[in-house]
Structure 1
């Protein structure tokens, strides 16, 4: 790594250099080892991590190196298409604008046109732009809903529809098909990064210029994106109506720069924005975690709604690729989970398909950790359903492949508040989700229904689906691996038990094993680089545990379908208690977790 160390002339960032020197002078060897021994890894979601000095963190040098590796990869492997250019966007986090400029320098050096989003942009505008402009790739600098000290760079691309997508630097990268990149492209890009660590001439310039730099792209593309969003959401109803009054919060993110203006341009004016959170603020001063999934994230929205007498809340996460909603029911606030919202949006879109050609083959999909309810709803309508691995890098590419086979893919979702509408873009899109939801709410109102009562009707038809999705916090990746290795060492078989549950089926997506298929091979592609186990239990329970690819967490997902809410809740709670008693406490006692956990219907599970 000669030539790129903290003492090198190629590392002129005075802030991060000083940070390393202070650690050296104060003899903090352990921290230096942590910062410098390992390089931040480029994966299918690009790069994401804490902003700090050192090769293991997000900083100007690691952004330059990752960008150079990607630019060189594109030049060497898609040289005939580089004239299409690369779209680069960024959110409003600390250093996002600078990282975006440093990324642009790498592509300019390879004479690849850069379509630059000069101002803070919503993440969905990058994959939309890739397909709209037929760009070769897209890079978005964002850490999505991570804490304020984090940042990231993701890559998305557009080649012909059959190719895979790819992410880059921090949070999202896209390839020419408008989807996030996938294996093996992430590995090939990572290898290219290792070959291009030395910053190129002009790598550190703050003001790119020249024929390959186009700084006005976002001003031209944003109106095309919002027009597409509006036309698509309007097409899902025969007689469009205004939604009921609502409160909106972008959680200090870039959604506040787009959604309120879009609503007002359509005559939707009866809404209130959360004044403390409407402007982008990289410090997220009112939020410990700027993630709408976290307890308390919507507290200010609730206060605003209560003060104004409004009973509906909608929200985006800081980069506006996720969407959340809440409704006041019988004097109490009900927060829709991602699985709830997936079922609601799907139901609305299914109703909108009544006017399409009866010969059209329609398809929907969701991730392997999302609710099984979508599959049941789709089959009842004669719609093809396909399960996907976790993440929109998989769902976007799977949608493209289904389209090549003649399907019209109308919708995909994952439980983490992510919803994809291929009519707009091939990645999660919180702006489109918000507009579809508002259109659906207005339609349901004509039927005497609210979003909550519509959800209860769906439960009555397809069974009450109760979920509990949360995580164990892990001190390090090694501790997480101890857990998964110990679970596998138990060699669970279909006749064995987990607590009082009988294990009916066992799927290991890391090792490529599935007891429920004839050849014992999963129908989904195995991925040895990730950890993911799924168990099907009696009492109609499905349980998945996986290691997060972007956070120090071991995530779990429990779902039960029962004839009543109470029956489903009992099964979910019994499952988690069995997992903690038989797996976590014996094998990984260093994993920590909350002692009070809400299920999807608001029931609080108290753990001893």
Structure 2
């Protein structure tokens, strides 16, 4: 994405397995502004592809290709310096997995350049392998995907576990919580990085997608920074005017929009490790900062109900059922507002989705853009007066989220 603007290219194409099963190749298109395409460019390109009946008639140049050298990577690594605060501590130790993808060499080069301790690698997953032999899905969010990384962490006792997905645009972070390791949710990392940038005096707009937690909006508001909510996907987040930082809950963070107008798992990892180093110097952890944010802004707890189907018509049926019979209450909370996002709401362009605003909670239901899944994004917000109130607030949040899932499944008939 950064290469587009660096080279003055009119377009960029990335062919990537991303975080999907081995047989699924993704095809991402960027226009010269460095952002992924949005409608109507996508349907225009698809129509051109559909119009091709045979490849034999398509002219292809035999020569004139230019294979770029390492200078693009060098330019990218030079920009990673600007992500970090020049005088920040660089002491946090990490375990890293590239998840059989392409991230390792660039990740290690960026960490060495920053002066962090050399990450401990999950060797079984360090090198590119299109068969992803050690995981069912090479997505850090999937059950089991982080098992080898956690095993390594129990051995080496680092401060953080960091994972990239195979094309290294997502960044997963895990921390020691009590006796064992746990993955932080994308929403937790999203809020932590936002709070870290605010504490560093960042200026400019913050943004998150509508399916992400509302906590970043509260952090930005308190700091007096502009905040914008966008449709799902970095093709929308990257287009926010004056963007300084944007994230979405699916482990995507844009911390250097001047360099990469997209999610980038390596610069996000650098910034997270800087934050962990600063907290380590104070004898604290990322979990302590999350507690601070909960007391300051309310406990924002998020969860997802994701239903994978063989038959896509089941997804359309569920959406129709919800549109025709919108729920009036979920988890015992009254529905204050029910919005059909396909009509376009506020400044949001139309998209196939539904949003329920409840008293102290929010639910969004949408078909996945990349997989045969119906996805429901849940958030509950519980006020917390002091740190002593956190355990009971967490218990209440967990119970509410479970209850929301049950009631939503029933309402959608899934």
Scaled to the shorter chain, the TM-score interval is over 0.9
Taking the TM superposition and a 5 Å limit, the aligned residue runs for 1:17-416 are 127-155=1-29, 174-201=30-57, 209-211=62-64, 213-215=65-67, 217-229=68-80, 231-234=81-84, 237-353=85-201, 362-397=204-239, 399=240, 402-403=241-242, 409-416=243-250
Maintained 8 Å contact 1:507/1:522: no
Maintained 8 Å contact 1:247/1:272: yes
Relative to structure 1, is the Cα distance of residues 523 and 267 closer, same or farther in structure 2, using a 3 angstrom cutoff? closer
- Per the TM alignment, residue 581 of structure 1 is displaced from its structure 2 partner at its CA by 2.4
Relative to structure 1, is the Cα distance of residues 242 and 198 closer, same or farther in structure 2, using a 3 angstrom cutoff? same
Matched residue, 2:310: 475
What is the distance in 1 between the residues matched to 2:283 and 2:132? 38
- Structure 2: gaps spanning 5 or more residues: 384-392
Q: Which has the higher contact order (CA 8 A, sep 6+)?
A: 2
1:506 aligns with 2:344: no
What is the distance in 2 between the residues matched to 1:277 and 1:302? 13
Paired residue secondary structure (2:124): coil
- Per the TM alignment, residue 199 of structure 1 is displaced from its structure 2 partner at its CA by 1.6
Q: State the aligned residue count.
A: 404
Mean alpha-carbon deviation: is it higher for 439-448 or for 175-184?
439-448
Maintained 8 Å contact 1:365/1:411: yes
- Per the TM alignment, residue 201 of structure 1 is displaced from its structure 2 partner at its CA by 4.9
Paired residue secondary structure (1:353): coil
Paired residue secondary structure (1:179): coil
Matched residue, 1:560: 380
**Structure whose CA Rg is larger:** 1
Paired residue secondary structure (1:214): coil
Maintained 8 Å contact 1:365/1:388: yes
CA deviation vs aligned residue, 1:258-317 (integer Å, no higher than 9, x gap): 111322244334421011111111111110110001121111011111112324211100
Maintained 8 Å contact 1:499/1:582: no
1:534 aligns with 2:355: yes
Relative to structure 1, is the Cα distance of residues 197 and 240 closer, same or farther in structure 2, using a 3 angstrom cutoff? farther
CA deviation vs aligned residue, 1:358-379 (integer Å, no higher than 9, x gap): xx6x211000000000011111
Matched residue, 2:402: 573
Relative to structure 1, is the Cα distance of residues 315 and 351 closer, same or farther in structure 2, using a 3 angstrom cutoff? same
The alignment yields a C-alpha RMSD, in angstroms, of: 1.8
Paired residue secondary structure (2:125): coil
- Per the TM alignment, residue 202 of structure 1 is displaced from its structure 2 partner at its CA by 6.8
Paired residue secondary structure (1:254): coil
Paired residue secondary structure (1:433): helix
Matched residue, 1:16: none
Maintained 8 Å contact 2:112/2:118: no
- Per the TM alignment, residue 499 of structure 1 is displaced from its structure 2 partner at its CA by 5.4
Matched residue, 2:386: none
- Structure 1: gaps spanning 5 or more residues: 1-126, 156-173, 355-359, 404-408, 513-520, 589-608
Maintained 8 Å contact 2:253/2:265: yes
Maintained 8 Å contact 2:365/2:375: yes
Maintained 8 Å contact 2:92/2:116: no
Paired residue secondary structure (1:276): helix
Matched residue, 2:346: 522
What is the distance in 1 between the residues matched to 2:115 and 2:209? 36
